[in-house]
Amino acid sequence: MNILGLSAYYHDSAACLVKEGRIAAAAQEERWTRVKHEQHFPSQAISYCLREEGLTVQDLDLVAFYDLPFLKFERLLETYLAFAPRGLRSFLQAMPLWIKEKLWLPEKIKKELGYAGPLLFTEHHQSHAASAFYPSPFNRAAILTIDGVGEWATTSWGVGWDQTIDLMAELRFPHSLGLLYSAFTYFTGFKVNSGEYKVMGLAPYGVPRYRDLILTHLLDLKEDGSFKLNLDYFNYCQGLTMTNQKFADLFGGPPRPPESPLTQREMDLAASVQKVTEEVVLRLATHVHRETGEKHLVLAGGVALNCVANGLLLRDGPFADLWIQPAAGDAGGALGAALFAWHQYLGKPRPTLTDRLDRQEGSYLGPAFPEDQIQAFLQQQGIPARELSWEALPQEVARLIAEEKVVGWFQGRMEFGPRALGNRSILGDARSPKMQSLMNLKIKFRESFRPFAPSVVAERSGDYFLLDRPSPYMLLVGEVQPEICSESKPGDQDLFGLEKLKTVRSAIPAVTHVDHSARVQTVHRETNPLYYQLLKAFEALTGCGVIVNTSFNVRGEPIVCTPEQAYACFRRTEMDYLVLGPFLLEKDNQPPWQETGDWRKEIQAD
């Protein structure tokens, strides 16, 4: 049986194919359209999923969509009526798309696909819950999903066992932890539904001096983690912005204009909302543990991408272990809808785990490009490259990284989710004090404060990080081991804000954040043998088992999908080398690069 899962029409539209219970393929539409967080119908992602398994639309037995459009429409209408006439402008903007497309979704799906079979619509948080539980390694687990909003739910919890999911309670719109975080994302000058991770990265530069103000004026937080927002300070129910003048008055002035210089206020606001988020998540999880008695917890929803809160939950929370869906946002809803249809709707058992970490296969679920296809592209474009054996390739690339060269690394199947996990990555030397600023400013063209993640072979993770379990999806933050941290120098304690970037904090400074933390990716031989070999080669050469891994893209651009996209990104940046399969390209040997226009203007800054 072949089930196609879809998410679309809000942000991060995606498609997923589940074949006889196995996650066969999954990808976000943005990787083809090159529009970050693409919301339109995922036509190209669907085509890829079918092509991956040699199927046509006629081979599909069921199509599952990740939320209930009519219930979401009900919420929009009730909200607009509750705030009328203040929400008229927002109402007039939203309604044409609903009346033209979203209310006719069953017909639109069938028309777009040329499909005449059955359709299944799941609740938004059911999709999140399914994406969290079914691929996890646990036979039983508590489930916690937290995001901005689905239909009505903003947070839900329940239990999963065998092939069954039971969601037992929820918090409802407009009271949303995700929307609270997005309000601060907007107020600190970043893009909502895109820049929340920047707020998380900015937080360690600040002091949570506004925490009590948030808990006193914005959030009525209960012991069990439930809460209500004071809507007097927000504008998202009825307006076109997240916050209002009363919010600005509370925090000492208007929102930061996008792209303007960051001040200590923004850093302190980021630190404060991050601290409150961690407190809410910890209380929620403690309550869920108390109510369910389960040993394990699975997480999904956009807030589950907050890897700092995840790390705190792992260290200080009541659960023995947790598992987070790598595509925790709306893209993962496509996967969840398909798995929900297979397991809950059709009652099919989950596949047995053998020696795998989980049932998501490292999240390498996107398209791969064979050697002959890559070679044909290089020859057609007259691109000089050196072909290496698969045995020699990791050794040579390890040598280049050790020489502080920045290397684009394009291998195998593209990752599903927002993180590059060693197949569509840009790599650098974690030992280099200059690597973070070099990669931020000359490769990624992004803000200097943004941290980079380390990749480390799983069995050596504990030598570098205070993290006692696998983190294959880069969704857990752990402290850098104290013995490899650098001693503070005179005056370090007096540094504030972005001045903290000047200090070398450990033996792996390029991946050590200013609070001595790191967003760790453990690399496993079973799921990515080539990347594992590269790390082992680097370790043999240098004695260091850690390299920098950042996504293969520039700021505002989706991660690359094809060799053509990888080559364009390589030429537009100051990357030194590019690896496409077994082919090694050196920047200095490339022919002149020509653009038809200003590519930076075509990519909207996030």
What residues are labeled active site? Answer: 11
3-state secondary structure at position 343: helix
Instruction: Give the pairing of strands 453-457 and 517-523.
Output: parallel
Give the Cα separation of 417 and 472 in Å (integer): 13
CB 360, CB 134: distance < 8 Å: no
Q: Which amino acid is at 208?
A: P
487: how many CB neighbours lie within 10 A of its CB? Answer: 5
- Which residues are registered as beta bridge partners of 519? 477
Q: Which residues contact 572 (CB under 8 A, 6 or more apart)?
A: 554, 593, 595, 599
Instruction: Give the pairing of strands 227-229 and 424-429.
Output: unpaired
Give the Cα separation of 492 and 306 in Å (integer): 28
Structure tokens at 332: 């993962």
Q: Which amino acid is at 385?
A: A
Torsion of CA 379, 381, 383, 385, to 10 degrees: -30
Structure tokens at 166: 């039971």
Cis peptide before 174 (omega within 30 of 0): yes
Structure tokens at 595: 């653009």
Give the Cα separation of 241 and 182 in Å (integer): 10
The arrangement of strands across the sheet holding 453-457 comes to: 386-387, 583-586, 577-580, 407-410, 424-429, 546-551, 453-457, 517-523, 476-479
Beta strands in 444-581 (DSSP E): 453-457, 476-479, 517-523, 546-551, 577-580
With the C-alpha atoms ordered 328, 339, 526, 137, is the resulting torsion angle positive or negative? positive
**Residue holding tokens 């659960």?**
319
Task: Specify the length of the chain in residues.
Answer: 606
Instruction: Tell me, letter by letter, the H, E, C secondary structure of 204-217.
Output: HHCCCCCHHHHHHH
The arrangement of strands across the sheet holding 14-19 comes to: 22-28, 14-19, 2-7, 62-65, 119-121
3-state secondary structure at position 62: strand
Q: Which residues contact 445 (CB under 8 A, 6 or more apart)?
A: 554, 555, 573, 600
